[in-house]
Chain A
């Protein structure tokens, strides 16, 4: 990460998001043309669930694609001018480390149990956000893989996200969080009784992203709220982001469908990242154009300004 920051220091800043339970520093990258004025933001975090190794791999791919192409790709160049990408390549560092050292299938954080009569470790970070916390699809048993913690935001990793995102929420156009597996694009909400006010727009946008994914390598992704297409749940970062007013919020569940599951083989890393990139770009482009107008619209606007200036000049000269 340091190398990337150094090599691309014109457009990349590295900063501290917060600390993990085991006191590791969680870093994030801020990527875009530097500006004095506040810019609109696209948020992406990876590695919230330790065993989902393709997720931090995708964040790295995403950053690489942006940085290798921002000078030559017109679309990315526009993105860089108008927005900043905030990327957290690996949120649950403690858990990820544990999957390398001890247990490949670990999911949660590595904080000790908050209750005396339960000795297991870890809270499910994606059940620990303050979004209908502990209402459905979560557990109060500290040994459960979906243990939601003793209270919302009990985990330092979650607190780190909440602090920064909460501070800049008015500037965030879209919140993206990357997981595996299942080949899904999930939108708010996990709770079956909650529907986002812009549900239809989310669904359409998600479906466009799924179409872009399918065009890349033929992979099918399903789109919808988890309460319909996966399982009811609560306390997720995606739902929390929508709740605090961020207009668009999606969870990506990358390959595969269960053949290898969390242990995606090496030869599938690149195609998975390429198709996910296509899906994410579709979403980013839509939210960007909704805010700033499309390139075509921008060109029309530009020529209209030129014409208006010319005409007013003519009038003056008369």
Chain B
């Protein structure tokens, strides 16, 4: 492909519920390494050498494929930024750290014939627990023209991401869970009134980070996803030092207004971060609907 110098960090097509990892041209790390959380800047996560670092430079614009400036409050920019948010959360979120797009500063898109549309977005994010705002994020999001849903390819960097320091909280939580006599369980987070018991908050965040993987994979130019409900969470046995959980989560797509149920298994520890090990879509109607209080109006 002419004129495109972006790095693809891995494609994660969902094959019968098991995410398989496919590296693409220019992808210089395995997806496993990409999912490891390292200390240091985002660039160092990939252990890039100089050539690889040069490849991460912003795309040079090819005059044959003109860039179109986008209105930052219009939905094409909003949808592209949301994909970057999901990507960012999956790679950098934790039970103590969850980001939302705060403000879109600049956005543009280019149509690449026979490939798809690539968006360039500059935005700030807000971390939900600390309320801190991380200012300088840039992302490139490529939506490929495919018959079937394929995950958008994302390249996203944020300058001050590491100023949000949660490793103490993450380690404390990890040890707390590890030392419980019984595996944890939870249901209906939040409840109908939006309440979340304090001890359930990390599992809500963790569900959100795992769901971010699914939302990233399922996104295209006609979707805008949020997680609206953790139907259930159950801790699983795990032999290694990763904690494992079984989740059923409900996602809301703003564009179709549909509520979509996903079953996923999530592995986590503070050093390796979050990984979705299995996921599959539940057909509409299999799950009991989010419980409502039995009050007569």
Contact = CB atoms under 8 A, between A and B. Distances in A.
Interface of A: 93, 96-97, 99-107, 124, 143-146, 182, 220, 222-224, 228-231, 257-266, 268
Given A224-B74, A231-B255, A265-B194, A101 B100 contact: no
Given A229-B75, A260-B190, A260-B194, A104 B290 contact: yes
Given A146-B256, A263-B194, A100 B297 contact: yes
Contacts of B192: 99-100, 104, 263
B194 A266 contact: yes
B290 A145 contact: no
Given A97-B297, A146-B256, A146-B257, A102 B228 contact: no
A102 B192 CA distance: 11
A105 B194 contact: no
Nearest to B259: A105
A145 B258 contact: yes
Which of B71, B128, B190, B194 is most buried by chain A, counting CB atoms within 10 A of its CB? Answer: B194
B223 to A, nearest CB: 10
B218 to A, nearest CB: 15
B171 interface: no
Contacts of A145: 256-259
B246 interface: no
Interface of B: 71, 73-75, 78, 100, 103, 128, 190-196, 226, 228-229, 250, 252, 254-259, 284, 289-295, 297
Contact of B75 (A107, A231, A265): A231
A220 B190 CA distance: 24
A103 B290 contact: yes
B103 A103 contact: no
Nearest to B190: A263
A66 B134 CA distance: 40
Contact of B289 (A105, A228, A260): A105
Contacts of A102: 289, 292
A264 B194 contact: yes
A265 B290 contact: no
Contacts of A228: 71, 74-75
